Amino acid sequence: MSQQNEIEFKTLLTKDDYNRIVQYYQLQDTDFHTQKNCYFDTFDQKLAMNRCGLRIRQFANYGELTLKTPAKVGLLETTDQLNIEQTEQLINQQKILTNGHVADKLAEYAITAKDLILFAELTTKRAEFSIDEGLLALDESWYTNQHDYELELEVENSEKGKQDFKMLLDKFDITYRPAKNKIERAAYAQQ
């Protein structure tokens, strides 16, 4: 298991903004990977009402089951690592692990694995790399009949990170466009 505090700043991008950043950092196809995100909640959206998010993220060779819960600053991520066979089986069955650190954390919200349903999926092509300001992620995502581009900056310090993010947007002459979390965008697209 890993638990970590996630502090990130994000903005939606135009396709032109996205392409300029790809060009600036000289990103090649090999710098990107594809990840499939499968989002879960209870039928009555108990996780969403508690500002939590739950997903299985599938990579080429493994997966992760991650629960994001509110923290003093940012979000607390609780993650169970999955091998590729577990990942594929859980996604095909539209279930999560019935035990483990995520299941234990869900119990704090009086939620069990059997209470959950898969309600949305989103696929992202991502380049992720360190820059002076923090961990930069450049995403192109597809969900339902939507397609968008996004820039995320993950930082250690919220106040400094906010300033660094603004300077990064200024550097690329990007207009800030608020980005809801991917889970919210995918859920909204389902409606």
Tens digit of each residue's pLDDT (9 = 90 or more) over 85-96: 999 999 999 999
Q: What's residue 189's pLDDT?
A: 81
Q: CA 83, 88, 91: angle at the middle one, nearest 5?
A: 120
pTM: 0.93
Per-residue pLDDT tens digits for 120-139: 999 999 999 999 999 999 99
Q: How far apart are CA 40 and CA 124, in angstroms?
A: 17
Measure the CA angle with vertex 43, ends 40 and 48; round to 5°: 60
Q: How far apart are CA 70 and CA 49, in angstroms?
A: 11
- Digit-coded pLDDT (tens) for 63-104: 999 999 999 999 999 999 999 999 999 999 999 999 999 999
pLDDT bin (cut points 50, 70, 90) of residue 1 is low
- Please check the confidence at residue 57 and state whether its pLDDT lies above 80: yes
Which tokens hold the place of 73?
A: 């600053």
Q: Mind giving me the DSSP string for 73-117? A: SSEEEEEEEEEHHHHHHHHHHT---SSSHHHHHHHTTT--GGGEE
